[in-house]
Amino acid sequence: MLFTPALPTSAVLASTVASFLSCFYRVAVYGVAFIELRFKDSRFTALFFSELHFTGMSYWVEFMTRWLREAEPRAPAKLAGMDYAGRLRRLQDQFVAQDLDALLVTHQPNIRYLTGFTGSAAALLVHGAGAVMFTDGRYRTQAQAEVRNARIVIGKLPPLLEGGSWLAQHRSKLSGRGTLALGMEAESLTLGSRRRLVSSLGKGFRLKEAPQLIERLRMIKDEDEVRLMRAAAELGASLFQIACATLRPGVTENAVAAGMEYEARRKGAEGMAFSTIIASGKRSALVHGRASCEIIPQRGFVVCDFGVILAGYCSDRTRSVHVGSASREAKSFYAAVLEAQLAGLAAVRPGARAAEVDAEARKSLRKSKLGRYFSHSTGHGVGLEIHEAPRLAAGETEMLRPGMVITVEPGAYVPDKWGVRIEDTVLVTEDGCEVLSPSDKQLIVL
């Protein structure tokens, strides 16, 4: 049984005052600090920001406090239970039709998808009867703990070349014919690495640029993946509360992003899925306006686009808010983008072409005379990577199918004035789509 001695009230008071003093010192010097207080079983964490303001010859430091949470952070989700054997089999089943004896996988998210390996240096050789993963000594322990359904070879050469020399030795066993048809992932192989691979292979190989076989498998998420993507979407969505609590005129965009990113880590995220976008005032017209040291102005839109990586899976969401009172023009601009986003969502159903979703969102914005300000595609697939197949853009003929996870994110950007984007990540279902972590999307004025 644990026994916590009761401290005299004066001692508790003294220690609290001391920790606050040290916290304010850190805020003044470093710009940000956290203080943690425990009371019985609850834990409270305060996040302090400081903002330096200059006016004429004088300056002052403004302190902002945000009580972050009362509960213990949840345990990070695990990758356990993935159907690695099934994935490998579905890939191998395509070899005959593709005229391949083996495929050399070099795109790291594809290796993770097939084996569970989370390291950053590996090559995976998939042949008709199995798979061999090549990595280096840094990943010996990690590979042994993580890799499923593949033999592990720890080499001294870079993984790709290690794979090449292994293939040179085992070619005759892997191919019944004279030459071995080896597929390569053209999108992830540089000219230099291809040249080095060719010299390590020697004679007896026919190299082929393979179509994106694994990316196509990854488009349809299985049950385990959907579970993780839901958890990632939920965690990602919760960061918007931090944005709303810290966003106000005079605060830097970076300070808002910092609070969100701190909270993401506390809740178990491995990291952010991309650089957090906090684009305020005229910067809201930048489609990818990463958070900067710009100060949020008194009035205007702020585009917040943010996502986390949880157990390998990404979340992606955008909300646009308005600081200061919104003019009638600003309100109708926002309403037009929201209408386009809802039109896009309504078009997501199995059997629809990816281009149709894009066309519906675009048509809606054209109706509001904002078509020319919509300068990007309507959405993209999300999963182990933040941008993956399918693309929701004009000319994309991919048919939507249940299990796909895609974003719907139209926006309108008027240069040097303002911009708005609204984005949800959705799961394509049997009869339409389900927004992951839905929320109210009426304009928030802060």
The nearer residue to Zn ion, 225 or 316, going by C-beta atoms, is 316
Q: How far is the CB of 290 from Zn ion (least distance, A)?
A: 12
Q: How far is the CB of 316 from Zn ion (least distance, A)?
A: 4
Q: How far is the CB of 97 from Zn ion (least distance, A)?
A: 33
Q: Which of residues 273-332 bind Zn ion (CB under 5 A)?
A: 305, 316, 318
Q: How far is the CB of 89 from Zn ion (least distance, A)?
A: 32
Residue span 152-181 as binding mask against Zn ion, x where in contact by CB under 5 A, dash where not: ------------------------------
The nearer residue to Zn ion, 164 or 379, going by C-beta atoms, is 379
Q: How far is the CB of 426 from Zn ion (least distance, A)?
A: 12
Instruction: For the chain, give the longest Cα–Cα distance.
Output: 86
Among 169-177, 202-210, 238-246, 417-425, which window interacts with Zn ion (CB under 5 A)? 417-425
The helix, strand and coil proportions of the chain, stated in percent and rounded to the nearest 5, come to 35, 30, 35
The nearer residue to Zn ion, 19 or 275, going by C-beta atoms, is 275
Pair of tokens at residue 37? 């207080």
Check the CA dihedral 158-161-167-168 and report its sign: negative
The nearer residue to Zn ion, 181 or 342, going by C-beta atoms, is 342
Q: How far is the CB of 161 from Zn ion (least distance, A)?
A: 36
Residue span 108-147 as binding mask against Zn ion, x where in contact by CB under 5 A, dash where not: ----------------------------------------
- How many whole angstroms separate alpha carbon 360 and alpha carbon 394? 11
Contact 168, 182 (CB under 8 A): no
- How many whole angstroms separate alpha carbon 388 and alpha carbon 390? 6
The nearer residue to Zn ion, 82 or 231, going by C-beta atoms, is 231
Q: Which residue has the tokens 């008194």?
A: 298
Q: How far is the CB of 374 from Zn ion (least distance, A)?
A: 14
The nearer residue to Zn ion, 68 or 405, going by C-beta atoms, is 405
The nearer residue to Zn ion, 183 or 419, going by C-beta atoms, is 419
Q: Is residue 299 classed as helix, strand or coil in its secondary structure?
A: coil
Among 33-41, 280-288, 354-362, 415-423, which window interacts with Zn ion (CB under 5 A)? 415-423
Give the Cα-Cα-Cα angle 83, 388, 263 (nearest 5 degrees).
85
Kindly state whether residue 407 participates in binding Zn ion, applying the rule CB under 5 A.
Answer: yes
Q: How far is the CB of 424 from Zn ion (least distance, A)?
A: 10
Whether omega before 415 lies within 30 degrees of 0, making that bond cis, reads no
Q: Which residue has the tokens 């001695």?
A: 5
| Total chain residues near Zn ion (CB under 5 A) | 5
Burial 173-210 (b: 16+ CB within 10 A, else e): eebeeeebbbbbbeeebeeebeebbeebbeeebebbeb
**Residue length, the chain?**
446
Instruction: Reduce the secondary structure of 163-192 to three states and give it as a string.
Output: HHHHHHHHHHHHCCCCCEEEEECHHHCCHH
The nearer residue to Zn ion, 136 or 305, going by C-beta atoms, is 305
Residues engaged in binding Zn ion (CB under 5 A): 305, 316, 318, 407, 423
